[in-house]
């Protein structure tokens, strides 16, 4: 190789792409019960329930829950 020749090697790093599993719940959907692994979160005196990335608000009169946008 001549002194003026430049050798380059390009290596692309492998990327790990994490995709969120779509929630089985749809915004506005009303459900009869919540998953057992839910978390209870109180925001401004209102109780919400969080399961993975899905938030629920209680419908007290019906003892059901509605899927809502994140209150945070």
Domain count along the chain: 1
Residue 12 lies inside a defined structural domain of this protein: no
Identify whether the C-beta of residue 65 lies closer than 8 Å to the C-beta of residue 34.
Answer: yes
Q: Rounded to two decimals, what is the model's pTM?
A: 0.67
What is the reported pLDDT for 62? 84
Residue 6 lies inside a defined structural domain of this protein: no
Residue 5 lies inside a defined structural domain of this protein: no
Mean pLDDT of 55-71: 94
What would you report as the CA-atom Rg of the chain, rounded to the nearest whole angstrom? 24
Residue 44 lies inside a defined structural domain of this protein: yes
Q: How confident is the model at residue 70 (pLDDT cuts 50, 70, 90)?
A: very high
Residue 48 lies inside a defined structural domain of this protein: yes
Residue 22 lies inside a defined structural domain of this protein: no
Domain ranges, residue 54: 30-68
Residue 4 lies inside a defined structural domain of this protein: no
Q: β-pairing, 30-31 with 54-59?
A: unpaired
Residue 15 lies inside a defined structural domain of this protein: no
Q: 30 vs 18, which has greater pLDDT?
A: 30
């Amino acid at each position: 190789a001549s002194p003026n020749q430049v050798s380059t090697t390009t290596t692309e790093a492998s990327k790990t792409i994490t995709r969120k599993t779509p929630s089985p719940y749809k915004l506005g959907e009303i459900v009869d019960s919540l998953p057992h692994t839910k978390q209870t979160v109180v925001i401004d005196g209102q109780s919400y329930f969080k399961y993975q990335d899905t938030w629920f608000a209680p419908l007290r009169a019906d003892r059901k829950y509605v899927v809502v946008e994140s209150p945070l």
